[in-house]
Amino acid sequence: MTGTSESKTWHSETLGNNGPSIIWLHGWGQDLTAFARLAGLFSNNAQNRLFDQPGFGKTPVSAIGNGTREYAEELAKALEGTGPHIFVGHSFGVRVSIQLAAHHPNLVAGIVGIAGAGLQKKRSLSFKLRAKIIRTWGKATRVTDRLFGTKLRTQFENRFGSADYRNAGDMRPTLVKVVNEDLSSEARGVTCPVCLIYGALDTETPPEFGERYQKLMNKAEFHTLEGYDHWDILTRGAYQCEAVMKRFLEKNSLT
């Protein structure tokens, strides 16, 4: 990295100083190093700024329970008077990029969304019924612990909580809020060019998310990369992502 900075609490590092401005926003549970390999491929032809989002890396938690709209508002303040920028996000970072494009279009020249989250998975009726039972059980453990001093809630979370939830610590309220967001309305408000890239083996944010996003957005293109999942698309798949991104940037005169 060629430099570091603190933009109103958002820690960032810069890479390269020629060409368009690209803002890189990592996924949940990661930090700016998640994009080290892919951003490095653009170091000679772009001004890259990699951010640690609040609660990750070197950026402290800004407020317990913030959703992606609040994240976007914070970043918009940090970037006030600059841009427009190209935003490259992974998973959670795509959520924030969409919020920015919907509410601060002057800051966003284009979006590259890799394994973008922000839509609800399609679930079967049996899954929904099971989930409702588990949620009810979870609420009951809280009441029981409060009344009788038991530790049933901890056992419940260890059994049914996702790895992200178990590891979230103080960020749990934010995680719960974020995973329940549906950004369909915001996606409809995105007017800039968008490139959606998904790994064919991704089960966290399946490719059908990209297909749905493409239908919601006016200027979106959708790509599936065979052989990659939610995580290794940024590492093993870096050169494949680079090729798709460069074609997108050139086609939309964003280079």
Domain boundaries, the chain: 3-120+182-251, 125-170
Reduced to 3 states (helix: H, G, I; strand: E, B; else coil), residue 73 is helix
Helices (H), the chain: 36-40, 68-78, 92-103, 125-148, 152-160, 163-167, 172-179, 184-188, 207-216, 238-251
- Residues 116 and 205 sit within 8 Å (Cβ to Cβ): yes
Pairwise CA distance, residues 187 & 215, whole Å: 9
- Which residue in 95, 118, 107, 103 sits closest to 49, CA to CA? 107
Q: What is the pLDDT of residue 157?
A: 60
Q: What is the pLDDT of residue 164?
A: 61
* Topology adopted by domain 3-120+182-251: Rossmann fold (3.40.50)
Question: What pairs with residue 12 in β-bridges?
Answer: 5, 51
Pairwise CA distance, residues 69 & 96, whole Å: 7
For residue 207, say if its preceding peptide bond is cis, omega within 30 degrees of 0: no
- Which residue in 130, 95, 97 sits closest to 111, CA to CA? 97
Entry pTM: 0.85
C-alpha 131 chain-centroid distance: 24
Residue listed under structure tokens 């890259």: 48
Give the chain's end-to-end CA distance (angstroms, integer): 21
Report residues of the chain scoring pLDDT below 50: 2-7, 127-128, 160
In sequence order, what DSSP letters do the residues of 43-58 get, joined into one string? TTTSEEEEEPPTTSTT
Q: What is the pLDDT of residue 143?
A: 67
The DSSP 8-state label assigned to residue 121 in this structure reads: P
Q: Which residues contact 38 (CB under 8 A, 6 or more apart)?
A: 88, 234, 238, 241, 242
